[in-house]
Amino acid sequence: MARSWRDPSEATLARVLLAPAFLLLGLIVVYPVGRLLWTSLYELSLTSGLPRRFIGLENYLSLLDDPVFADALVNTLLIVVITVPGAMLAGLGLALVANLPFRVKWPVRLSLLLPWALPLAFAGTISAWFFQSEYGVVNDVLSLVRTQRIIWVNSPNLAFGAVCATIIWKASSFVGLILLAGLQTIPGELYEAAQMDGASRLRQFWSVTLPLLRPSIAVAVIFRTITALQTFDIPATMTRGGPGSATTTLAMMIHQTTVDFLDLGYGSALAVVLFLISMAFSAIYLRQVRAA
């Protein structure tokens, strides 16, 4: 007797149930990536009105001579190198405090959750106000130790530093939450045992906390790295990439080339570069997950 459509075999049902998810992923991830690779080999500018023209790797060769690309690439990688360790350390601090046995837990938890849920674009806007040169609260606090007001947005290094500080502040809440979850899985008996053996608090942190926190740290590092590579919202709302291209990132360049200049061929080549860098980090992550 044939099975009715209401009661298909397990394997058939599984395929049907997974189909929408993989259809969406195929439609919105796999197909666009294929299209991206393809378009990056063409000259395709929507402002010129000309039809697409195959030019091979010419878009990629143009990247090498583009000073803004060089700036954007260096800025993006610097943001990764500075803000990932920065957010990890700050986040670890937040998680350790949030894991302390307070009688009332919600104020500290809320202090981690609120920045986490704050849109990045809001964080950038708020930060622009904090670093505002005349009436900003940062300069006001600094005026206790120095008389000269700092015009943050005029100096390439200071603007970049302010952007990094904002990213670290925003990202440390996410890292803190992931690490807090990891800390809560460490059994208390381990610390009791370590205490009986006469281990100091610092020793306990090095020999019990850090090793057991390793999986959470790995997850936080990889997600942070991939997100940092895509940095857009905070510099876009805080400094608009300036002064010059001092705080311009690859993502901002992709956005400008595509949406403002409608140069899809060149924008695609830029996106492919970012995609490849990001995939390299994802590959490391997948290997970690498989090993675990």
How far is it, in rounded angstroms, from Cα 121 to Cα 138? 19
How many contiguous H segments (helices) and E segments (strands) does the chain have? 14, 2
CB 40 to another protein: min, Å: 9
- Minimal distance, residue 164 CB to another protein, in Å: 16
Nearest in space to 36 (alpha carbons), one of 275, 288, 289, 284: 275
Minimum CB separation of residue 29 from another protein in Å reads: 6
Q: To the nearest whole angstrom, how small is the minimum distance from the Cβ of residue 137 to another protein?
A: 6
In the chain the first and final C-alpha atoms are separated, in Å, by 45
Give min distance, CB of 155 to another protein, in A. Answer: 19
Closest CA to 247 of 83, 65, 61, 40: 83
3-state class (DSSP) for residue 263: strand
Shortest approach of another protein to residue 291 CB, angstroms?
Answer: 13
Least spacing, CB of residue 159 vs another protein, in Å = 16
Q: With beta carbons less than 8 A apart as the criterion, state whether 266 and 59 touch.
A: yes
Closest CA to 128 of 227, 235, 229: 235
Among candidate residues 267, 288, 262, the one with its CA nearest the CA of residue 45: 262
User: d(Cα 20, Cα 15) in Å, to the nearest integer?
Assistant: 9
Q: Which residues contact residue 107 at a Cβ distance below 8 angstroms, ignoring those fewer than 6 apart?
A: none
Compute CA 246 distance to the chain's CA centroid, rounded to the nearest angstrom: 19
What SS3 class is residue 119? coil
Which residue, 52 or 156, is less far from another protein as judged by CB? 52
Phi, psi of 220 (to 5 degrees): -65, -45
Omega cis (within 30) before 243: yes
Cβ-based nearer residue to another protein, 25 or 197: 25
